[in-house]
Amino acid sequence: MPTDVIKAKNYLLSLGIHGESPMGSERMEMRKRQLSGQQEAVAGVTVTAPAQQGQAGQGQRASNACCFCWCCCCSCSCLTVRNEDREERNRKASYDVKAEGTTDCEESPNPTVEEVRAWGQSFDKLMHCPSGRSAFRQFLRTEFSEENMLFWLACEEFTKETNKSAIEEKARLIYEDYISILSPKEVSLDSRVREVINRNMLEPTSHTFDDAQLQIYTLMQRDSYPRFMNSAVYKNLLKSVSEQSPES
């Protein structure tokens, strides 16, 4: 009997051991699954967080880039508008001044042979003749110095003004168009004349630009006039009017 009891106990123990093994295996498997699930969840959170951060960063960068582009576009647009406004004001100012001072020059009649030949005698005769000023202005345009003639013509018209308010307004326009260093049509004046103009602009009169007008006149006479007389513009014009003359 003791031997049978021992055998029975051993048998039961073996059953207990082998019976618990499947349950233990199942519990282990379940635990592994739980751990695996937790790891996947943690991994998912870990992966999602950087992804979300990356997306947020991209969104922020996109937003910043968008804001930057908008600011730049807005700034450029504003600058463009301001520049266009300034150019429009300059064109209008130039037109207002030049429309009065260049009408005779632009609508001058065809010159005669005697007039064209007289231009070669002196610069004064050329400048006193409307058709002579017109031809000389066309030549200056080819040399990119037409502003000298425009300034001189504007000053000629300006000296005839008697209304104080009109004098102040036209003086300002002439200054902005031809004296200011910011103007694309700035004429070449020495420092002494510029100082005189700056003083005169405090209380403009019809003689505010007398010194400057004389200096530009002298510059055209010494520099541009000799080249004009030897240019194809003058020679072709002289030939044309000579052929049309009844004397020829």
| Packing angle, helices 2-101 and 146-158, rounded to 10 | 60
* pLDDT over 90 percentage in the chain: 53
pLDDT band at 109 (very low <50, low <70, confident <90, very high): confident
Does the domain at residues 113-244 carry the CATH identifier 1.10.150.120?
Answer: no
Name, in order, each residue with C-beta under 8 angstroms of 179's C-beta and a sequence gap of 6 or more.
186, 187, 189, 194, 197, 212
pLDDT band at 177 (very low <50, low <70, confident <90, very high): very high
How large is the greatest C-alpha to C-alpha distance in the chain, in angstroms? 168
Q: What pLDDT, in 10s, does the model give residues 200-230?
A: 999 999 999 999 999 999 999 999 999 999 9
Please tell me the pTM assigned to this model: 0.58
Res 95 pLDDT > 70: no
Mean per-residue pLDDT, 59-69 = 44
88-100: buried (b, 16+ CB within 10 Å) or exposed (e) per residue? eebeebbeebbeb
